[in-house]
Amino acid sequence: MSNVMGALLCGLVGALLLWAGLHDAARVRRLRHHGVRTAGMVVDNVRVRDNDSGPTWAPIIAFADQHGYRVEFTPSMRGSGMGLATGREVTVVYLPHDPQTARVFTRRHMTGPVVFVLAVALVFLGIGAAIAVSG
């Protein structure tokens, strides 16, 4: 009975993560095809958490949308190699009707979150399948 519950739980988590990853992939596709590109500036780096290896920092990026309003956002992809120095100019892409969908227009920042979520989804689905087969 516990094997069935484990398989179902892992399968459910995997399916939800798969849906989230595919939804994010569709957003990236819309950003690439219909997004407005503009210059953004890294205005600050804020500490988001401390762990055993030290603090983790997240850049705050500001840009002006097509109506001239200032928009600030923090990229969702963080970690080693993802940092952006304060004062650096970056290309930003956002959907015209929703500037809060903004992302830094680099391969790492556009596809990194999608790849990570899809990989975790596949791990959960694989574990769920392995539990189902072994039980």
Reported as a single tens digit per residue, the pLDDT across 78-115 is 666 667 888 999 999 999 999 988 999 988 888 888 99
CA 98/CA 29 separation, integer angstroms? 15
The token pair at 75 is 């990229």
List the Cα angle 48/35/28 in 5-degree steps: 60
Average pLDDT of span 25-29: 94
Element (H, E) at 95: strand 89-95
Over pLDDT 90: what percentage of the chain? 62
Entry pTM = 0.78
Whole-number Cα distances in Å, 13 to 25, 97, 115: 18, 31, 16
